[in-house]
Amino acid sequence: MIKHSYGVGLVGFGSAGRVFHAPLIQAAEDLELLAVVSSDPPRVQQALPEVAVVAKTAALLARSDIDLVVIAAPNDTHFPLAKAALAAGKHVVVDKPFTVSLSEARLLKAQAEKAERLLSVFHNRRWDSDFLALKSVLESGCLGRPVSLALRFDRFRPAVSDRWRDHHRPGSGIWFDLGPHLLDQAVQLFGRPRAILLELATSREGAEIDDDFLALLEYDGLRVSLQASSLVAEPTPRAALHGTRGSFVKYSGDPQEAWLHEGRAPAPGWGVDERPGTLTVNEGEDDSVALVSREFPAPAGDYPAYYAGMAAALAGQGPPPVTVDEALTVMTLLEAGLDSYRQGRWIRLKEGGSLRRLHGHRG
């Protein structure tokens, strides 16, 4: 066995740990998955026969060969587990959402800084093919000044599961499940918004918690809507961007999640999305309108980039692929959204609001 530079321990082997983190860690050249914390050793050993299984997180943290601890456990355990890992001198990756409260997230940031350990959050949807296509269109400036963007993350899951995500506990519900993905994407494109308005709904029969949300983000001259639902059977646009010179619409989502669920490992050709978006641009002169539509190929999705970035950060070659401050911005918006829903009004943020101009923008 080739000895990699950094040993990794994974806490949790549910959907997040088994489907996303384990194969992506194993795909990183300078990381080696050495141990998994799980209450179901046979399940882990069937998938990862060469990896040790321990029943308690303390046993993993006591191992001197573990440099990086990845936390893929239920959301309300993120804070205590990350706190313990940092106290043990480990670098830490936390699955999204960072924590279940902004105050917990701030405490972890302070602890990581004091311990001089790396701390990052797994916002992997930055490397979705549809998001990369959207980012490319914005950077090109071909749509002029952006005026509205709608991002959607819809599923059709009419049956309420018995998983923790569908029960009353801190950090459960669709806002804390899919909200972090869409909020992070919006912030990556346009920076921190000026205000947020959130509506939550519980739509499925027998549902205990929110399974539908609509969030509006306010920027100068730009409105962003974020929406997710568990009861959408017909495909909806994953991204719909409109500007002063045209529009970009992408229906299909990134293939990487489906491939990981199928058990496929990252390999050459990984993340290639064969379903293009549609770019419609006004090529008329002066005040005339002459709309021209064409296919816009999506760049390949690249989830492996996250752990490649973590390996580089561990080697001192730059910051983590998702910084703590970026994760704190998402936590700020998650909490502000809940305040908005409870109070039934827009919540203004203390900072932000200016539209971050991307390279290549033209009015």
Confidence of residue 312 (pLDDT cuts 50, 70, 90): very high
| Block residue for tokens 């669920």 | 261
Confidence of residue 110 (pLDDT cuts 50, 70, 90): very high
Mean pLDDT computed over 206-235 = 92
Q: Is residue 319 part of a domain?
A: no
Q: Is residue 353 part of a domain?
A: no
Residue 235 is part of a domain; what is its CATH number?
Answer: 3.30.360.10
| Block residue for tokens 């911005």 | 329
Confidence of residue 187 (pLDDT cuts 50, 70, 90): very high
CA gap 222, 81 in Å, rounded = 39
Q: How many domains are contained in the chain?
A: 2
Q: Which structural domain, as residue segments, surrounds residue 32? A: 6-122
Same-domain status, 155 and 50 = no
Same-domain status, 107 and 135 = no
Which is more confidently placed, 173 or 85? Answer: 85
Same-domain status, 154 and 106 = no
Give CA torsion, residues 326, 327, 328, 329, to 10 deg. 60
Q: Is residue 216 part of a domain?
A: yes
Domain boundary among 122, 155, 185: 122
Same-domain status, 177 and 279 = yes
| Block residue for tokens 């990487």 | 256
Question: Is pLDDT at 320 greater than 70 in this prediction?
Answer: yes
Question: Is pLDDT at 189 greater than 60 in this prediction?
Answer: yes
Question: Is pLDDT at 356 greater than 90 in this prediction?
Answer: no
Q: Residues 275-301: pLDDT tens digits?
A: 999 999 998 888 889 999 999 999 999
Same-domain status, 222 and 342 = yes
Same-domain status, 245 and 155 = yes
CA gap 298, 295 in Å, rounded = 9
Same-domain status, 56 and 155 = no
Question: Is pLDDT at 185 greater than 80 in this prediction?
Answer: yes
Give CA torsion, residues 96, 324, 354, 193, to 10 deg. 30
pLDDT above 90 covers a percentage of the chain that reads 84
Residue 97's pLDDT is: 96
250 Cβ contact list (under 8 Å, min separation 6)? 130, 133, 134, 237, 238, 239, 240, 276, 277, 278, 296, 298
Question: Is pLDDT at 166 greater than 90 in this prediction?
Answer: no
Half-sphere exposure of 64 (CA within 13 A, CB side): 0
CA gap 20, 10 in Å, rounded = 11
Which range has the worst mean pLDDT, 33-47, 72-86, 97-111, 203-217?
Answer: 203-217
Mean pLDDT computed over 26-41 = 96
Q: Is residue 324 part of a domain?
A: no
Cα 303 to the chain's mean position, in Å?
A: 10
Structure tokens at 224: 């962003």
Question: Is pLDDT at 235 greater than 80 in this prediction?
Answer: yes
Residue 358's pLDDT is: 42
Give the start-end residues of each E strand in the chain: 6-11, 31-37, 52-54, 68-71, 91-95, 119-122, 146-154, 195-201, 212-219, 222-229, 239-243, 246-250, 277-282, 291-296, 347-348
Same-domain status, 266 and 169 = yes
Q: Which helix (H) or strand (E) holds 298?
A: none
Residue 351's pLDDT is: 66
Structure tokens at 153: 């993350």
Residue 135's pLDDT is: 97
Confidence of residue 363 (pLDDT cuts 50, 70, 90): very low
Asked whether 355 and 244 are in contact (CB, 8 A), the reply is no
Residue 315's pLDDT is: 95
Q: Is residue 54 part of a domain?
A: yes
**Residue type present at position 328:** L
Asked whether 117 and 90 are in contact (CB, 8 A), the reply is yes
CA distances from 242 to 82, 120, 224, 303 (A): 40, 32, 10, 27
Domain boundary among 107, 122, 137: 122
Domain boundary among 122, 140, 168: 122
Q: Is residue 306 part of a domain?
A: no
Same-domain status, 93 and 160 = no
Q: What is the pTM of this model?
A: 0.92
Q: Residues 35-56: pLDDT tens digits?
A: 999 999 999 999 999 999 999 9
Confidence of residue 207 (pLDDT cuts 50, 70, 90): confident
Residue 3's pLDDT is: 45
Confidence of residue 156 (pLDDT cuts 50, 70, 90): confident
Same-domain status, 147 and 27 = no
Question: Is pLDDT at 360 greater than 80 in this prediction?
Answer: no
Residue 334's pLDDT is: 97
Which of helix, strand or coil describes residue 292? strand
Same-domain status, 138 and 36 = no
Mean pLDDT of the chain: 92
Q: Residues 333-353: pLDDT tens digits?
A: 999 999 999 999 999 998 654
Confidence of residue 199 (pLDDT cuts 50, 70, 90): very high
Which is more confidently placed, 168 or 361? Answer: 168
Q: Residues 81-100: pLDDT tens digits?
A: 999 999 999 999 999 999 99
Asked whether 209 and 201 are in contact (CB, 8 A), the reply is no
Residue of 122, 120, 186 whose CA lies nearest to 153: 186
Asked whether 39 and 47 are in contact (CB, 8 A), the reply is no
DSSP 51: S
Q: Is residue 288 part of a domain?
A: yes
CA gap 233, 225 in Å, rounded = 20
Question: Is pLDDT at 122 greater than 60 in this prediction?
Answer: yes
Is the backbone peptide bond immediately before 97 cis, with ω within 30 degrees of 0? Answer: yes
Residue 43 is part of a domain; what is its CATH number?
Answer: 3.40.50.720
Question: Is pLDDT at 362 greater than 50 in this prediction?
Answer: no
Same-domain status, 288 and 206 = yes
CA gap 87, 315 in Å, rounded = 21
Q: Is residue 318 part of a domain?
A: no
Asked whether 166 and 208 are in contact (CB, 8 A), the reply is yes
